[in-house]
Amino acid sequence: MQLQGKVAIVTGGGSGIGEATAKLFASLGANVVIADWNEAEANRVANEINRMQPANGGAYAAKADVSSEQQVKHLVQQTITTYGFIDILFNNAAVVLPKELEDITELEWTRTIDINLKSVYLMIKYCIPEIRKNRGNIVNMASLNGLLGQRQNPVYSATKGAIIAMTKALALDYAKDGVRVNCICPAGVMTPLLEDWIGQQPNPTETIQVLVDMHPLGRCASTEEIARAVVYLASDSSVFITGVALPVDGGASLGY
């Protein structure tokens, strides 16, 4: 199998894209750490993986707020204690804050930046010594709005744009170690996060139609379709690819 014997950490693995990716990693033979601040959901996903075919990799649920340095350190230690090493880090956890800039409080700004961006810095800082040993790789979750912007989503867009820039910078720094760093940029993916954002729009029904129409392929992505792109970047299938921000967007970046 493509990821046989690998060890992967998936942040935000208790829901949506993280859940689908953790399950796909395991089905390809990896052992997966499901890192999420929602302990019940992390446990659910880990249990579901562990009930899958015995030939698959296993899963371990770790409760962690990845914006906390102390909790990230503990998460990495738990991973090493459980599985011994780290090959793949998928930095996926994030939250949305769909508000105009003038309506955002300083506390909301700081919290969103911490959850979406500081978490990526912390996870890489504490995982890279292990990833370097195995010449592994890092996949960061960005978004199409980090490339193109999005109305009424300035802080979230700023975090995703920063993740794209940081991915490219780190790809340069870690290339000498044989460690690749890439990110993916989905448009609409039907998950609790997107449903939450839709629910906060003035006209949710109209918003769903706008979402569908912005993808030339005529629909939002499924979580499994995004997971397949993550596996591509995390596996040897993309062995000569580093520093890319890959749109996985049904053509939405062609002009929405």
Ligand X SMILES: NC(=O)c1ccc[n+]([C@@H]2O[C@H](COP(=O)([O-])OP(=O)(O)OC[C@H]3O[C@@H](n4cnc5c(N)ncnc54)[C@H](O)[C@@H]3O)[C@@H](O)[C@H]2O)c1
Our CB check for ligand X shows the closer of 1 and 217 to be 217
Q: How many residues does the chain have?
A: 256
| Nearest distance in Å: CB 38, ligand X | 4
Q: Which is nearer to ligand X, 120 or 170 (CB)?
A: 120
**Other CB atoms closer than 10 Å to residue 205's CB: what's the count?**
8
* Closer residue to ligand X in complex, CB, 95/241: 95
| Residue 107 or 239 with smaller CB distance to ligand X | 107
Q: What is the Cα–Cα distance from 63 to 83, expressed in whole angstroms?
A: 16
Amino acid at 224: E
**Whose structure tokens read 């709005």?**
145
- Whole-angstrom distance, CA of residue 232 vs CA of residue 25: 11
| Shortest CB 176 distance to ligand X, Å | 28
Residue 60 Cβ vs ligand X, minimum distance, rounded to whole Å? 15
Question: Which residue among 60, 121, 126, 156 is the active-site one?
Answer: 156
Position closest to ligand X via CB? 16
Cβ-based nearer residue to ligand X, 48 or 132: 48
Angle at 108 between CA 143 and CA 64, to 5 degrees: 70
Q: Look at strands 180-186 and 31-36 and give their pairing.
A: unpaired
To ligand X, the closest distance from the beta carbon of 78 in angstroms equals 14
85: number of CA atoms within 13 Å, CB side?
11
* Cα–Cα–Cα angle for 194, 199, 201, rounded to 5 degrees: 100
Distance (Å, whole) CA 55 – CA 36: 25
CB of 174 to ligand X, least distance (A): 21
State the Cα–Cα distance between residues 199 and 208, nearest whole angstrom. Answer: 10
The verdict on whether 126 is a catalytic residue reads no
Binding site for ligand X (CB under 6 A): 11-12, 14-18, 36-38, 41, 64-67, 92-95, 115, 119, 141, 143, 186, 188-189, 191-194
Residues marked active site are found at: 156
